[in-house]
Structure 1
Amino acid sequence: MIRFSVLAMAAAAVLGVASPALAQMPTPLPAEALVDEVDAAKVDWLKGHVVADGPVAGGLSFTFPSDFYGAKLILLGESHGVAAPQIVDLELLTHLNARIGLRDYLAEVDPVQGAMLNRYLETGDEAVLDRVFDFWTESGAQWGNTAFETKVRGIRALNESLPEAQRVRFLGVDAIQDWPLFGEWIAAEGGTIDAAALATAAGNRADRAALADLALAAVATLPEQTPETARLTKVLQDLKAGAGREATIFNAYSGAVTSGELGDRPAYGLWGFFHVLQSGANGATPFAAMVKASDLPAANRMVSIVLHSLDSAVQIPAPLPTGLQRLRLTQFNIDGPFVKVQGSATLRAATEPGRITIFDPRGEDSPVEGGDFVGLNTSVQRFTLDEPTAPVDAYVQYVGVFRDSDWAAPRE
């Protein structure tokens, strides 16, 4: 929902820390921006249209309508750094695997990271899992947390209980995150890459992608091809051409569908809040909106679910004068002081402490209005819906709230 850099700035502001890297400190939203009234009609509607519910520590029950299970793409959106969404993710994935045989996990990781995670799922080699997570830990990404790592182990445990044809696999479709890992993967595939040139090109994504594409082209002459190769080629070509991140993700997903790697099978994954929005925000087009505007099977058979936090803590890596520190903060819930979601008071009134609840806000008689539960006001980053009065399902189909979740604790 909010980029790491501005969250880090806000974290420093909360702590009263000054740093040359944090020259402009954000301030909390003004008190009048946090004023919100409970809408009783909306509370009643939400309480009557619960599709998932359970303790914040896990053990959810799912009662989605039948059309939910016909979706070709199901996206769960969150703000990274909290434990509860990782719990929802594993339990919803397990439910979809049992209910419709879903096994393709569309992940917010690059194709090489996805290949490494699949290797861990197959082998249980903890060194492989460590290699993927060490990058996020060392780079300061919020993905470097124990909740995410525990979830991946949970997916492996799920797979161990399933016949081979039903086991879950990762499809990494994001832009390259870990360039050294790419070099290691190329070497393992029998190729080579000029590591010194790759390091020299640091900061220039197009140049790095060009070097990587040359190395991959050599690997592509080998008779044994992996599904990751085609997706990786698409990602690198997009990066060379200067494509934005959302377009890169969309093109990799589209290629997986049209090539037959994914084909007509449904896919599911956990993503950041912005990526799952089906209409524009800040004048930009999210991944889900690109799918909706496409001719792919998922265009009219896509579901987006957003999860909001109340009374919860978040992990925010902050570059402080003493070095990178991962902070446990409670000021980033949807009712302030830095973030305010339209209708947060109503969401609080419709939920209970210590629980995760997902609602269906749609319906002919629904009192839910345009912008409700999706519109944001934030003091740390501009966020404006391009269609602020559009019905909520122009952006998402389901809205979830978790209360009293702990942070996604950092890895040691």
Structure 2
Amino acid sequence: MKKILKRIALFVLLTPVVLLVLAFVAYGIYALLAVGGESTPHQAYLQKHKQEVNLNQPSPAFPIFDSAFYQKQIFFLGEAHGTAAPQALDFALLQHLNQRVGLRHYLAEVDYSQAYFLNEYLRTGDERHLQTVFQVWAKQNAQWGNQNFYDKLKKIRALNQTLPEARRISILGVDKLQDLNTTRLFLKAVLGRFPENGLKDSAYVTLQKVVFADTLDEDAFTAAAGQFLSRVSPASSGTKGAADLHFDLQHTLENVAYLSSKTRRDSVMYLNLVSVTKARHLEKAKLYGMWGLFHTLPVAVERGVPFAYYLQQENSPYRGKTVSIGVYTLDSENMMPAAALPAFLSKGERYVNSGLANNDGPMVFVHGIKDLRAASREHTLTLFKTDAPDSPYRTSSRLASFKVLFPNQSIAFAGEHPRLTQVFRYVCLVRNSPALTPLPHL
């Protein structure tokens, strides 16, 4: 009997250890397969088609871009938020495209109301407008609430001060509404510019009461928006200023209505871009912006529909007019909101700097990432052209998926044989970048 009890006790003690060892073995095998080995042909190609970007130069050059690149209308930089280097690259690309093709519109991952306040800052230099937007992100501990982004907007304003007015950069916001209180502040400014005789309709009166109330009643706000849209059609005639004012009002309330209809975020982005383009006569304007990597994928994926994919649909005026640059990271840190992490990792902090998000593990895996490592140096930011005539990426699926161990975060390009060249004509490898710096509560 004692022997049996000992065996049972030993089994109970050893089983968790054995299971843990098996889990580590399984994880190790998974990680090796997910990242894959090295490919000599791919590395030889990458060595021939690369450019290290020196972000310390006042105005970095980008000789790697071909003439077809500059002929596009919309330029995307896609990255996983949290690492510092892409923010610096973002400004360098914006400055370069402003100089090279006269690009003036930064297509930002912000909504229309937020863009208004960011543009007011660019126009006046009053940082209270910046704080209107950033204090919400800082309060939410969102990754956008970082000092690097805040400082980048200061650099854009400083750049604008050196440019003639016709070449100055402004922010174009097309995202789904992020904060209704910021939207209400924007509508206060809009309604405050309306002539008194233009606000006699009961729908306007109801909207005014909600917007100018001491506190925001979200249900009443949504109801007032719906009432306005169903009863009032702002005139498109008259002066340009009046037409712009009417558009600001109707477009913003349409976005309030999108919230109640639960329209998908990337779909809203597309609808907003079409609407703003038409209203602001930007049909031929060049647009550039840095977005979350998912939004910049111009192909179907297994989970969700990306913004850039909507732009490629048959009825889209932007079909064939976009180009995306994908950012991959190695040996870098990521500023992660602590709320998204287990308690033993967050330790009560707002953010945690972590290497978990690098593309060779331990949480994110990109098949073929070792080739980018072999073709680059430590502490560099390197651009690679993926679709030259001799590119092996035209016929292989390397770098064409992101496997993430967090639920619902993996990105797999749809199709039996996905190709990197269908998604990113250029990729950027960031090595040894620090994390973003959190913005203090404002």
1:98 to 2:95 alignment:
no
Shift of 1:273: 0.5
Give matches, 1:68-87, under 5 Å: 68-87=69-88
1:19-98 equivalent positions in 2, closer than 5 A: 30-35=27-32, 36-50=36-50, 52-55=51-54, 60-63=60-63, 64-98=65-99
Secondary structure of 1:81's aligned partner: coil
In structure 2, runs of 5+ residues without a counterpart are: 1-23, 193-207, 236-240
Give CA-to-partner distance per residue, 1:107-130, whole Å, 9 cap, x none: 100000001000000001011111
Structure 1, unaligned stretches of length 5 or more? Answer: 1-26, 202-206
After TM superposition, list the pairs within 5 Å mapping 1:11-410 onto structure 2: 30-35=27-32, 36-50=36-50, 52-55=51-54, 60-63=60-63, 64-189=65-190, 190=192, 191-193=208-210, 198-199=216-217, 201=219, 209-212=222-225, 223=242, 225-226=244-245, 228-229=248-249, 231-319=251-339, 320=343, 323=348, 325-368=350-393, 369-382=395-408, 383=410, 384-387=412-415, 389-410=417-438
When structure 1 is superposed on structure 2, of 285-294 and 377-386 the one drifting more is 377-386
> 1:71: how far off?
0.5
For residues 219 and 156 of structure 1, the distance between their equivalents in structure 2, rounded to whole angstroms, comes to 36
Three-state SS of the structure 2 residue aligned to 1:270 is strand
Which whole-Å CA distance do the structure 2 matches of 1:272 and 1:398 have between them?
16
Letter in 2 for 1:397: R
Shift of 1:302: 0.9
Alpha carbons of 1:58 and 1:193: their partners in 2 closer, same or farther (altered >3 Å)? farther
Greater Cα offset, 229-238 or 129-138 = 229-238
Using the size of structure 2 for normalisation, the TM-score is 0.79
Aligned residues: 381
Pairwise CA RMSD of aligned residues?
2.7
2:103 maps to amino acid: L
CA deviation after TM superposition for structure 1 residue 259, in Å: 3.4
Structure number with higher helix proportion:
2
Deviations 1:16-59 (A, max 9, x none): xxxxxxxxxxx998112222311121111112112x42246666
Cα offsets for 1:337-380 (capped at 9, x unmatched): 00001211111111111111111111333112443223111110
Q: Is the 8 A contact 2:76 2:325 kept in 1?
A: yes
The 1:410–1:208 alpha-carbon spacing in structure 2 relative to 1, beyond 3 Å, is same
Aligned in 2, Cα 1:224/1:74: closer, same or farther, shift over 3 Å? same
How many angstroms does 1:234 deviate by? 4.3
Measured in 1, the distance between the counterparts of 2:73 and 2:67 equals 13
Which has the larger displacement, 396-405 or 259-268?
A: 259-268
Q: Residue 109 of structure 1 aligns to a residue in which SS?
A: strand
Supply the AA of the counterpart residue of 1:39: S
Counterpart of 1:80, as a letter, is H
SS at match of 1:332: coil
Q: TM-score scaled by structure 1?
A: 0.85
Q: Percent identity?
A: 31
Q: Does the residue aligned with 1:112 lie in a helix, a strand or coil?
A: helix
After the TM superposition, which of the residue ranges 374-383 and 231-240 deviates more from structure 2? 231-240
